[in-house]
Structure 1
Amino acid sequence: MKKDILFNTAATFTNSLKAQEKLEADIPHCRVEFSVSFLTFAKQTGVFPDISISFDQINPDFSDSKVLFTADVKTLNMNHPERNDHLQSENFFNSTKYPFIKFENKSFDKVDINRFLMIGDLTIKGVTLSSAFNVTWAGETTDPITKEHLYIFNLNGTFKRLDFGVGTDFPELAIGNDINLDASIVLKKLN
């Protein structure tokens, strides 16, 4: 039964968007979170509230879509003012010199009916490395207030902070090397 629902959702999506659509993030409804282990066992989380996303849909099933993501490092929030300030420093993101995290995909390949593998260039602190993210098409709906048609995706992936020169003075036992990224992305047609 679940398989039928996914198929019907995908069929609805294919019929509602045509190829070559340009979409943008509906920012108030997007959430980009990250987490990292602390002292091996504890998990610390934060968000990037100031982001921008452009999404150029090439094919009706999303394959080969083009994505450009930017996060303002100065707005990252771990719900702890001192930690937020420390993350802005040269010890971590050096947000004065490198104010943005950027991602531009090179591929957006369909894995199955509603899942994709997105690979592209992730730039943090002036270092650009190839990174992969899992993307799930969650569905589409119409906002009952704005009447805008919305397209919802969930994204997750992991990258290594030390590869980007983030927090190099802190051993992995203190702060984990793996940064886990989870995002809920709501897109709307570009006006």
Structure 2
Amino acid sequence: MKPLIGVVALCLWLAPATGYAENRWRLDPDHTTVMFEAPHIGYARIFGFFQRVQGELIFDETTRSLTSLRVKVDVDSVFTNDVKRDRHLRSADFLDANSHPVAEFVMTDADPMSDRTGQIIGDLTLRGVTRQVTLDVTLNRIGPYPFGTNYVLGASLTTIIKRSDFGSTYALQEGWIPDEIPVRIEVEAIREEPAP
């Protein structure tokens, strides 16, 4: 697997196409989760997530073409259910939220594997450093939402962030915290209807 991450972003899998009527979708912040895990000095795994995520994509359901994806994560919103640990994660040892409050993923390509799976390749900017990352994607469901009038796309994405690629090497030498951090993203995106 390529060195990658996570923070950030989303959805489909088919190679970009042109000449089709495409729809713009926006991430539903109430139903989108960016989460991560890391062993704690080898004793147990700590899980965390970011509470503020926003983004949008251009995806054509008929042709299964994804032509644009941009996701922003407020890294100051990190939450692991421990105030002291969250403060440390925001520091320059890890996310450096004071100097670089936003992590951003911008899609550059997409590679289909099947009608429901594939990869999204893009540039992730984290801690002021930009690296190419790859997201493995599974489309879960797409269609009318059972409540209200929204038309919704749901997908699951996974990747691995290599901390040292973005300048975070805290506790690597001691082996307390690994370099590679698994990231999982659960997404619901709402289709925006064209103006009349």
Q: TM-score, normalised by structure 2?
A: 0.82
- Provide the residue aligned with 1:36 in structure 2: 38
Specify the alignment match of 1:132 in structure 2: 134
Whether 1:170 aligns to 2:168 is no
Corresponding position of 2:103: 101
Deviations 1:14-36, CA, capped at 9 Å, x for gaps: xxxx7411000111111111112
Q: Distance in 1 between matches of 2:66 and 2:153?
A: 17
SS at match of 1:145: coil
Q: 8 Å contact 2:138–2:157 — kept in the other structure?
A: yes
RMSD of aligned C-alpha atoms?
Answer: 1.7
1:123 corresponds to which of 125, 136, 140 = 125
- Structure 2 spans left out of the alignment, 5+ residues: 1-19
The number of residue pairs the alignment matches comes to 173
**Deviation (angstroms), 1:61:** 3.9
Q: For 1:63-118, what per-residue CA distance to the aligned partner results, in whole angstroms no more than 9, with x for missing partners?
A: 34311011001101011110001111122211111001111111112111200111
Change (3 A) 1:187 1:119: same
Q: Relative CO higher for 1 or 2, CA cutoff 8 Å, sep ≥ 6? A: 2
Which of 44, 47, 51 matches 1:45? Answer: 47
Tell me the CA shift for residue 59 of structure 1. 6.5
- Distance in 2 between residues matched to 1:62 and 1:84, nearest whole Å: 39
Structure-to-structure mapping, 1:46-125, within 5 angstroms: 46-58=48-60, 60-125=62-127
Paired letter, 1:170: A
Query: Does the 8 Å contact 1:38/1:176 carry over to 2?
Result: no
Residues 57 and 66, structure 2, Cα contact 8 Å, conserved in 1: no
Once the two structures are overlaid, the 10-residue window that deviates more, 77-86 or 140-149, is 140-149
Give the 3 Å change call, closer, same or farther, for CA 158–96 of structure 1 in structure 2. same
SS in 1 for 2:170: coil
Within 1, Cα distance between the matches of 2:144 and 2:160?
Answer: 31
